[in-house]
A = this chain, B = another copy of it.
Amino acid sequence: MENSHQLNRLQTALHHQGLRMTPQRSLIMTLFQQLPKGEHLSAEDVYQRLVNEQTPLSLSTIYRTLHLMSKMGILRELELAEDHRHYELNALDGKRHHHLVCIACTKTIEFESNSIQKIGEKVAKGSEFSLLDCQLVIHALCPACQR
């Protein structure tokens, strides 16, 4: 099934770097896999959702895991208007979404764009970088906040 397949991929990737699969990492990975499209979580969110599971899990471990999985390209770190970072599964197929954010009320609209993805790939390739993620953030005022 899909879930265990993804967990295997994570495990393989970890082992390639001499790192280990743990119940905590597995739990966090599974949480993000089950997350509805478009939803993203902060470290604290992750903690609240998993603290009552059978596996013990601390905030420090969550921070460490979120960083690790972002560096591995498994999660994407969203840079929105909020005061803390949010994470979501990084789409393997390049179907990444972008954000239109009202800076007054923080209302956020998501959208997809093939063109942005293509620009990102072109720019990365032009500098010989290998792309992990690209995201457009548009800061604006929503109709209500324009008065």
Binding site for B on A (CB under 8 A): 70-71, 76-77, 79-80, 98, 100, 102-104, 109, 111, 113, 115-116, 119-120, 123-124, 127-143, 146
Contact = CB atoms under 8 A, between A and B. Distances in A.
Nearest to A138: B134
Given A103-B70, A129-B143, A143-B129, A138 B124 contact: yes
Nearest to A124: B140
Given A131-B138, A137-B137, A141-B132, A113 B124 contact: no
B103 A129 contact: no
A135 B136 contact: yes
Nearest to A83: B85
Given A115-B115, A132-B139, A103 B71 contact: yes
Given A103-B70, A129-B100, A129-B141, A136 B124 contact: no
A115 B119 contact: yes
Given A79-B80, A103-B71, A132-B103, A123 B138 contact: yes
